[in-house]
Amino acid sequence: MIKKNYKKRVLISAIPIIIFLFTASIIVWQQKQTETKTNQNSNNIVNTQKDTSVSKEESEIPDTVKIGAYIFSVYDLDFPNNKVNVDFYLWYIAPKDSMSLLENLEVTNSSEVEKSYEMNEKRGDKYFQSVRIKAKIKQDWKVENFPFDKQLIKVKVEDFDKDNTKLVFIADTIASKFDKDIHIDGWKFMDFGIKIDNHLYETNYGDPDIPVNEYSSYSRATLNFTLEREGNGLFFKLFIGLFISVLISLLTFFVNPLDLDPRFGLSVGAIFAAIASQYVITSTLPQNEKLTLVDKLHDVSFIYIFICILVSTISLRYMKQGMTDKSIKLDRYSFLICASTYLIFVIYFISKSI
């Protein structure tokens, strides 16, 4: 009886312990489940953040478009109006078809642009777009060394709708060329190339939603080539009249100073001939504030013609005073000095320009 009571007491006293252990195990299991869910949620958040950051980075990467050109005509070099016409094919190789490249094409340094033969085709996983462009380019002619000048022609192409955070050009240097049949009378076509750079527009275009100091930069493709003038023949055509005028003025030193009409009339006529020569040549060139070869040769010619008139006046005075020998010596020495120094100046100016 005592043993039965003892076992019964042991069983009764064990019940609370069993209940405690069971409860504790449930609590521990729930905590583990909670921690697992928390870790999973945190991992999901981290993964979501990574995906978001990656998508943002991908969205900030600009589209890369290959651009190339083939120039097959350059014509109508207009020096007085600072213009030249360029006819060429332009093409894009783009990663997608929704960029509206042909619609947004802009030749930034042109006054007139005519587009034709537009084409847009898918080639593999790329899109090939091409267009023919006739553009009247605004050209700043460099005529300081005319007629031995070289002109660098630039055709600047941009996409006016997308800055360089959305679109970046790369040059198709292999396929970009110029036609070998390009011919311009009196010029040589050379040094064709295509250059890519970023052009910064330092303005917010008055948009109140854009900060004043926040500027936009656009990817620009510049087609450039050099025209070198074949100026040797042209030089003699243009300046032969000027040189003959100076020579006529120098020949007056062999005329008797008392013969007033030929002695002074030839030099005066030479001045008018030199003025006409300068007017004819400069009328074919753009206005230029710099001192050009044309200006130098005409200015030095004016000076020497004036010297001829001045010497003739002094020589005439010597003759009237009876100093005939002195007058003859003055004329001879003046001819030698003026002719040699004038020739030296002409050669020097030409050598500096070639």
pLDDT at 20: 47
Determine whether 62 is exposed, middle or buried from the number of CB atoms within 10 Å of its CB (0-12, 13-18, 19+).
middle
Cβ–Cβ under 8 Å, residues 334 and 267: no
Determine whether 194 is exposed, middle or buried from the number of CB atoms within 10 Å of its CB (0-12, 13-18, 19+).
buried
Determine whether 53 is exposed, middle or buried from the number of CB atoms within 10 Å of its CB (0-12, 13-18, 19+).
exposed
For 32-45, what is each residue's pLDDT tens digit? 565 555 555 555 54
User: Residue 155, Cβ neighbours under 10 Å: how many?
Assistant: 23
pLDDT at 55: 44
Q: Which amino acid is at 241?
A: G
* Topology (CATH) of 63-229: Acetylcholine Binding Protein; Chain: A, (2.70.170)
For 159-209, what is each residue's pLDDT tens digit? 999 999 999 999 999 999 999 999 998 899 999 999 999 999 988 777 887
Domain 232-353: CATH class, spelled out = mainly alpha
Cβ–Cβ under 8 Å, residues 255 and 262: yes
Task: State the pTM of this model.
Answer: 0.75
Q: Is the pLDDT of residue 296 over 50?
A: yes
Structure tokens at 173: 């240097």
Q: Is the pLDDT of residue 69 over 80?
A: yes
Q: Is the pLDDT of residue 4 over 60?
A: no
The full DSSP string for 184-220 is BTTEEEEEEEEEEEEEEE---TT-TTS-TT--EEEEE
**64-78, 208-222, 299-313 — which is least confidently predicted?**
208-222
Domain range summary for the chain, segments of one domain joined by +: 1-61, 63-229, 232-353
Cβ–Cβ under 8 Å, residues 135 and 85: yes
* Same fold? 63-229, 232-353: no
Model confidence at 9, pLDDT cuts 50, 70, 90, reads low
For 96-144, what is each residue's pLDDT tens digit? 988 889 999 999 999 999 999 999 999 889 999 999 999 999 999 999 9
Q: Is the pLDDT of residue 21 over 80?
A: no
Determine whether 266 is exposed, middle or buried from the number of CB atoms within 10 Å of its CB (0-12, 13-18, 19+).
buried
